[in-house]
Amino acid sequence: MEIVNSNDENSFDPTPRLKSSPIPIKFISFNWKDENCVYCGEKYIKAFFCYQLYCQKCLSRYINDITDNNIYLDNAVEIV
């Protein structure tokens, strides 16, 4: 195992400087019995790949409200 110089410009950092998003996540249901969004009242949509419910309206609002180019830890959501 080699010692890596952390001051080198070409060194790769696999964990970029992530920070928490200032906008709360309201589009995911943490109660599996919920059928409607507790924030806007819309019916939850089931994700294709697992039994995860989310509100499409609140997810769209969340994505639109993020106006900066910062890398957030909780912004790793793929829209299909």
Token pair, residue 43, equals 């019916």
Beta carbons of 11 and 4 less than 8 angstroms apart: yes
Q: How confident is the model at residue 80 (pLDDT cuts 50, 70, 90)?
A: very low
Mapped to the 3 state alphabet, what secondary structure does 56-72 carry? HHHHHHHHHHCCCCCCE
Q: Where are the domains of the chain?
A: 23-80
Burial class (CB in 10 A: 0-12, 13-18, 19+), 28: middle
Q: Which comes out higher in pLDDT, residue 61 or 49?
A: 61
Global confidence as pTM: 0.58
